[in-house]
Structures are given as C-alpha cells and as structure tokens.
Amino acid sequence: MTPGESRFVEEMGQFLGSLGMTPMSGRMWGWLLICEPAEQTAAEIAEALQASRGAISGTARLLATSGLIRRSTRGGDRREYFSAPPEGLDSLLGSAAGIYRQMRTIAERGLEAVSDRSVESRTRLQEFHDVMAFVEREVPRVIATYLSERSEGRR
C-alpha cells in the first residue's frame, strides 16, 4: 500500500469511527474502495491492513449487513471474496430519510413536552425540528436525482 493509500484508509477509519462505527470498518471499506484487484479475500485484506483475520471477518459481517460491501464466492474456490460495489451506498442513502424522520419525530415530542414554555425558550428545539423536517423532505429528492443521473450515465 502506498503512503497516500495508507493515509486514505486511515482517514476513512477515523471518519467512520467518529460516526459510531468501528475504525476497522472504515479502514476495510476504504481499502475495498481503492484496492486492486477490486475483489479481495479476507487474507489479502488482513495483510493489506495489517489486521487479524478475525477482525476482518467480524468487520465484513458488519459492512455486508449495512450493504456497503458485497460477499461472493467463485466456483471451485472455498474462499470468500469481498468488494465495495458502486451501488453499495444505495442502501445507506435510502435509509437517510428514515433517520431524519426519526429525528423530526423526536423533536416533535420534545416540542410537545415544552409546549407550556415561551416561544423564546422553544426556539432551539423548533429550529432543530424545522431543519430535520426540511432535510427529511429534500434528501430523498436529491438522492433520487443522483440515482437517476447515475443510471442515465451508465447507458
């Protein structure tokens, strides 16, 4: 792995780690986004990331469940191969609206809980609610536009 590739992989690990995933998840996904060949065995990933096979196996389960990586096999080969297909983000993008809807709903309950307070007292929570409602409405539209443009670009 080149120094630039190593920096990228480590930055992905730190970034996903800051979002609540394990740093190894970010490192493995980062590696699968840039590795050649695009499909790698657990042993190849472990060697590239200087990690144990156990860490790779557990991380692969997490990333496959979230849809960020694909697991596959080849006829006559007992090993599993892992890759990060371009459409891997689709499931993550698709769940974004649900996350914002949940945050908006929680904000609504919070606004109900403090409904007896002054408007000034509710301002921060109202702003949070309004932003979440806006994002909940707009993010799916942006994602749909992106997916449509991506699909048209592949024809």
Q: What is the pLDDT of residue 36?
A: 92
Average pLDDT over residues 120-128: 91
Q: In terms of C-beta distances under 8 Å and separation of at least 24 residues, what long-range contacts does 79-87 make, across chains too?
A: 79/41, 79/42, 79/43, 80/41, 80/42, 81/39, 81/40, 81/41, 82/32, 82/39, 82/40, 82/41, 82/42, 82/45, 83/32, 83/38, 83/39, 83/40, 84/29, 84/32, 84/33, 84/38
- pTM metric for this prediction: 0.70
Q: What is the pLDDT of residues 68-119, one digit of tens each?
A: 889 888 888 888 899 998 777 776 777 777 788 898 999 999 999 999 999 8
Give the C-alpha separation, 52 to 10, whole Å: 16
Q: What is the pLDDT of residue 154?
A: 63
H helix intervals, 80-118: 89-113
Contact criterion met (CB below 8 Å) for 29 and 68:
yes
pLDDT at 19 exceeding the cut of 70: yes
Give the C-alpha separation, 105 to 101, whole Å: 6
Average pLDDT over residues 22-47: 92
What domains are there in the chain, each with its CATH number? 3-84 (1.10.10.10), 88-153 (1.10.287)
